[in-house]
Structure 1
């Protein structure tokens, strides 16, 4: 829509950068049409970053067995009173991993060795910020210190740090 507007607008208040950009695009044979998102079915799925489109495959049998062996397991069940813990089956597995059901949808408790795999999957979808990564993790999973782990993971992400925009003021 901004390009359609730029080529139909008759104005001389363009900045020098805008003029350079428009002149670079004007060199090409172009017909630019704007289609709203609902009218453009090809672009619609690409503009959505949902976990429904890409699923993290966790072996819930292994997860349930590893939860029982983790020293945090028992403390997790009794420490937070605002969470509602249940052992419920997920997918078609025979195991019943520990999940929080206080939000209305089960969020499995992730033990320490698997946390990095889960973080890498969620963060690797689009490399969101610390807060966005933590929020996405919290909607699907739960563990103690999830926000801190998300923040540390994003700050340790090489691709995020190399593409980060730094603005220095004098």
Structure 2
């Protein structure tokens, strides 16, 4: 499932992807050691991958509003689709950032020194509280990030 941020010009400027954990995915097939060899799988558990915002919409020293829209859209899509949990392989700064947003995060194993940086696997609970606190953190009010997305 691809979630895309599309500018008024029609250009893709941000996005992310969800992959069912019942099929091959990054944590199960490439980095199982990040989950102590036992990556979780379930019908309502999806892997969150490929989070991006184009450089022109990023902020130095903080998270941009475009990033906030993607995070809110991610949570909204999960809630609409009945996805209760997310797993993710990410840089080791993400757990603290997500916890500051009010997300419930469980580290599945130890941090791994990887050629592209320090990475960790997380299990994240998806709930309305995380969505609301993320909206507040980014000043997005109660407007759906999925408006016009057809989801």
Task: Point out the structure with the larger helix share.
Answer: 1
Structure with the higher fraction of residues in strand conformation: 2
Tell which has more relative contact order, 1 or 2 (C-alpha 8 A, sep 6+).
2
Q: Normalising by structure 1, report the TM-score.
A: 0.25
Larger Rg: 1
What's the TM-score once normalised by structure 2's chain length?
0.28
